[in-house]
Structure 1
C-alpha cells in the first residue's frame, strides 16, 4: 500500500485531509434545548376596544339587575375574548377545577371581583347535560367566594345549592342550544336569580323569537350588538 495514500486518522476532518481541526466549542457539544426547556411565549397584550367597553357596561347592567341579556356580533369582533376578560376566566377556571371543599386555598382576587362564570355548551348537548355542567360551575364559584370571604364558616353551612355569591353566567356559543336547553337555562335563572348573558352570531336575536311560544326570549329586555372595530377606535389596553 502506498504510504502517501494512507487513510487519515479518525477525527482529523471530514475530507480525510489530515489537517488538524480546532477543538469543538460549547455550541458544538451542548444539545439543543428541548421544547420543555424553552421559555413559554408571552401572550399578546389584551387591547381594550370600544366594543369591549360596551360589553363591560352591558355585563355590569345584567349582573346588577340579574336579568337575561343577549349579545351578538360577527366572528372576530371579540365577543368571547371580552367575556373571558370580564370574568377573569384565565385565572378563575383553573382554580375552580382544583377547588375542593376539604382543602382549598384563597381564591384569586380577580375571581372575587368578577363573580362570573363563562360556560360554553358542547356541540351535542341536552337539557340534562347543560343543567349538570352549569350547576357544577355555579356551585364551585359560589363556594370558592364564600369560603374565601368567610374562612371560619363550616362546610355544612355554605350556601347550597347554587349560592348567591355567583352573580353572572355568560353562555358563549349560545347558537348551539335548542329550545329545550334554553328552557333549562331559563329555569336555572329563575331558581337561582343569577344574571345570564347569551352570546351568539348575528341572527340569534331573530330566529328564536319565531319559535312558538319562545318563552325564554320574552324574558330578554336587553339586546346588545357588537360590531367590527377598526384600528382608530381602539383604546389603551390594561
Structure 2
C-alpha cells in the first residue's frame, strides 16, 4: 500500500500513530487492542509502509536482492510481523530475517544507486526503531518469551496488536508485562467521522460510488446505523451495494438497496 493512496487517515489512525511514536520515543512495549474490523492491521501496515517495504525485501519477487527497491526502503524503520497460527517456534528467527532483509536490501540498493560498495549490517535490527507484532492472541508464553528476548537485547520498541482482553491475558506474565509502558484501545469510527468518510473520502479506497449516487441522506444514515463505525463492515457493505446496483442495473443507492446489501452479508451484521 502506498502512503498516498488507498488508505484513509482517520482520527483513530492518527491516535494509533501517536501511540506508536510514543513507544519509539520511550522504547517501551505497547499493547493495542480492538474489536475485529476496526482497522488495527491496516493501520499497522500503513504506519510501517509495509505493503511497499515488505514487497521490496521479498526476494522471491526479484531476481537479485534490491531489484525492486526504491528510496522507500531507505526510510524503513519499522518491521511488521503477523504471528503465525501454527509453527510459532521460529518467531525470533522469522523477525530476525525480516530485519536482515531490510538491511541487505538497503545496502544493495545504495550500492547500485551510488555505484560504491556498502557494508552490510551485522545486527539485523540496526536502524530498526519498532517491531509491530499482529495477532498476538495466537501466541503462548514460550513464544512471547522470544519477543521479550528480542526486546531485551536490542534498543528498540515493540507494539503488540490483539483483541480486547489481551492486555489482561498478558498481565499473567509479569516478566513481559513489566516492560509494557502503554496501552491503546483502537476504537470504531464515530458517527460523524463515518458520515464524513461516506461523503468525501470513500473514493480514496477505490470504490466507484459517489455522494450523488445516493438517493438521499436516509440511505447514508442507514449505512451508518448498520455498520456502527466498523471499517471492515463498511467496506463489505459497499461491495455488496456495488454488486446489487450492477445486477439490477440501478444508478441510485436507496435505503432498499442498502437493506438488500445488508441481507446479502453472511456474517458480521
Aligned residue number for residue 95 of structure 2: 134
Aligned residue number for residue 93 of structure 1: 54
| 2:111 is aligned with 1:111 | no
Identify if the C-alpha distance between structure 1 residues 47 and 159 changes in structure 2 by more than 3 Å, giving closer, same or farther. Answer: same
> What is the CA distance between 1:218 and its match in structure 2?
0.9
One of 187, 196, 200 as aligned partner of 1:227:
187
Q: TM-score, normalising length from structure 1?
A: 0.70
Higher relative contact order (CA 8 A, sep 6+): 1
Structure with more of its chain in helix, by fraction: 2
One of 197, 201, 209 as aligned partner of 2:171:
209
**Contiguous gaps of at least 5 residues in structure 1:** 1-43
Q: TM-score, normalising length from structure 2?
A: 0.63
Taking the aligned partners of 1:182 and 1:103, their CA distance within structure 2 comes to 31
Q: CA RMSD of the aligned region, Å?
A: 2.6
Retained in 2: the 8 A contact 1:146–1:165? no
Identify if the C-alpha distance between structure 1 residues 169 and 89 changes in structure 2 by more than 3 Å, giving closer, same or farther. Answer: same
Taking the aligned partners of 1:54 and 1:204, their CA distance within structure 2 comes to 19
Aligned residue number for residue 123 of structure 1: 85
- Secondary structure at the counterpart of residue 83 of structure 1: helix
Identify if the C-alpha distance between structure 1 residues 96 and 106 changes in structure 2 by more than 3 Å, giving closer, same or farther. Answer: closer
**Contiguous gaps of at least 5 residues in structure 2:** 205-269
Aligned residue number for residue 208 of structure 2: none
Residue-pair matches, total: 190
